[in-house]
Amino acid sequence: MSLGYWMVLVAAILPMAFAGAAKFGGGQFDNARPREWLDRQEGWPKRAHWAQQNGYEAFPPFAAAVIIAHQVGAAQGLIDTLAVLFVLLRIAYGLFYIGDQANLRSLAWMAAFACIIGLFLAAAAA
């Protein structure tokens, strides 16, 4: 399995790491009503929850881009590089979100989205 495909797995798991931060950083977690509990959180646990939600939103286009690039025979090195960069930027995005660094968070989001576009362009060029 290629490095790019492994990064799809990492990107799928990444939101769960932010969910864990939100749940274990916000006091006594209520597993019976997790969504209500998360909605009542404030500060960094709330932002960790938002990072989790955005991670699930960013995952489908990333996974599709990696799979499509592989299927059409785009350059493997480029796929792997963009996939790793995407994951690193998404980690930074989440940390910036939790740390309430809105401008840096937005830059990381845009750069990660550029990786998705790059994957689709690599597929188109193949």
Every domain of the chain and the residues it spans: 3-125
> Could you give the CA distance from residue 66 to residue 62 in angstroms, rounded to a whole number?
6
What CATH architecture applies to the domain 3-125? Answer: Up-down Bundle (1.20)
DSSP-assigned letters across all residues of 54-86: HHHHHHHHHHHHHHHHHHHT--HHHHHHHHHHH
Inform me whether the pLDDT recorded for 25 exceeds 90.
Answer: no
pTM of the model as a whole: 0.94
Question: Quick one: pLDDT at residue 34?
Answer: 80
Q: What is the pLDDT of residues 46-95, one digit of tens each?
A: 999 999 999 999 999 999 999 999 999 999 999 999 999 999 999 999 99
> Could you give the CA distance from residue 49 to residue 70 in angstroms, rounded to a whole number?
32
Question: Quick one: pLDDT at residue 35?
Answer: 84
Inform me whether the pLDDT recorded for 39 exceeds 90.
Answer: no
